[in-house]
């Protein structure tokens, strides 16, 4: 029963699962190429001391979701490595994971998105990697961070637009509000002044999430 719940669980936030990875985005040749290149890359393990402060603070925050200290450290090292590699704030990636799956690596949405960052499995076929297991932490984090970084690029740094694209809800604020609230209230290690994309989003969209301290 436990295994069944893990593999088939529908998260409370499954209605927010990323539809941005659906049919209309499958033909994006730039994203397809970025995914293919990224999945072929080999990265060395990040030296823990490169991000000692971030790891320590984030480990305490993640304890609410993942009880095993070794699993937390493994995930945080992967998030830090893949985020830095893609030019993302690792705190933002943690916020996306919280909203997408509540850090359940076996989460499956009602539209079929899988894993920590709720990646649609058709991407595996698009890049010729049908063997990839999206419940595998490293695989899922790499797919998810590449996709998120791509949407930030084509949105020209517009965080709200990029998050909405990731979720497949472009033009609506519900999903960006949830992610940015989680980012600001639970995960953020930087000040608002250090995050110009957050400042721009607060100004341009008048996000309610920006009212939270």
Are 114 and 140 in contact, with CB atoms under 8 Å apart? yes
Domain that holds residue 60: 2-6+16-156
pLDDT at position 11, please? 43
Q: Which two tokens stand for residue 23?
A: 């049919």
Query: Does residue 168 sit within a domain?
Result: no
Residue 77 is assigned to a structural domain of this protein: yes
Q: What is the pLDDT of residue 45?
A: 60
Task: Give the total number of structural domains in the chain.
Answer: 1
Q: Please write the tens of the pLDDT for every residue from 80-112.
A: 999 999 999 999 999 999 999 999 999 999 999
Residue 75 included in any domain:
yes
The strand pairing partners of 108, in sequence order, are 114
pLDDT tens digits, one per residue of 35-45? 888 777 776 66
pLDDT of residue 64: 94
In the predicted structure, residue 187 carries a pLDDT above the cut 70: yes
For the chain, give the number of residues. Answer: 213
In a domain, 201, yes or no: no
What average pLDDT does the chain have? Answer: 83
Does any domain span residue 47? yes
Rounded average pLDDT over 47-61: 83
CATH code for the domain in which residue 55 is found:
1.10.530
36/122: higher pLDDT: 122
In this model, does residue 71 exceed pLDDT 90? yes
DSSP string, 104-147: -TT-B-TT--BTTTTB-THHHHHTT-TT--TTSHHHHHHHHHHH
Give φ, ψ of 190 to 5 degrees: -110, 160
Separation between Cα atoms, residue 165 and residue 163, nearest integer Å: 5
Q: Is the pLDDT of residue 142 over 90?
A: yes
Q: Which of 80, 109, 87 is nearest to 34 (CA)?
A: 87
Mean pLDDT of 191-211: 76
Q: Kindly state the tokens that stand for 38.
A: 């990224």
């Amino acid at each position: 029963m436990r295994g069944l719940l893990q593999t088939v669980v529908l998260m409370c936030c499954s209605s927010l699962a990323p539809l941005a990875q659906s049919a209309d985005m499958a033909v994006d040749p730039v994203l397809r190429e970025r995914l293919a290149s990224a999945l072929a890359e080999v990265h060395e393990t990040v030296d823990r001391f490169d991000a000692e402060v971030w790891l320590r603070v984030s480990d305490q925050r993640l304890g609410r979701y993942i009880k095993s200290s070794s699993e937390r450290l493994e995930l945080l090292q992967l998030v830090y490595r893949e985020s830095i590699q893609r030019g993302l704030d690792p705190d933002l990636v943690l916020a996306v994971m919280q909203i997408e799956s509540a850090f359940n690596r076996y989460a499956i949405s009602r539209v079929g998105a899988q894993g920590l960052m709720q990646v649609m499995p058709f991407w595996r076929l698009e890049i010729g990697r049908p063997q990839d297991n999206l419940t595998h932490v490293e695989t899922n984090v790499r797919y998810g961070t590449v996709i998120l970084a791509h949407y930030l690029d084509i949105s020209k740094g517009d965080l709200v637009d990029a998050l909405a694209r990731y979720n497949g809800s472009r033009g609506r604020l519900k999903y960006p509000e949830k992610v940015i609230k989680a980012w600001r209230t639970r995960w953020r290690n930087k000040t608002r002044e250090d995050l110009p994309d957050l400042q721009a989003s607060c100004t341009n969209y008048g996000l309610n999430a920006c009212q939270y301290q």
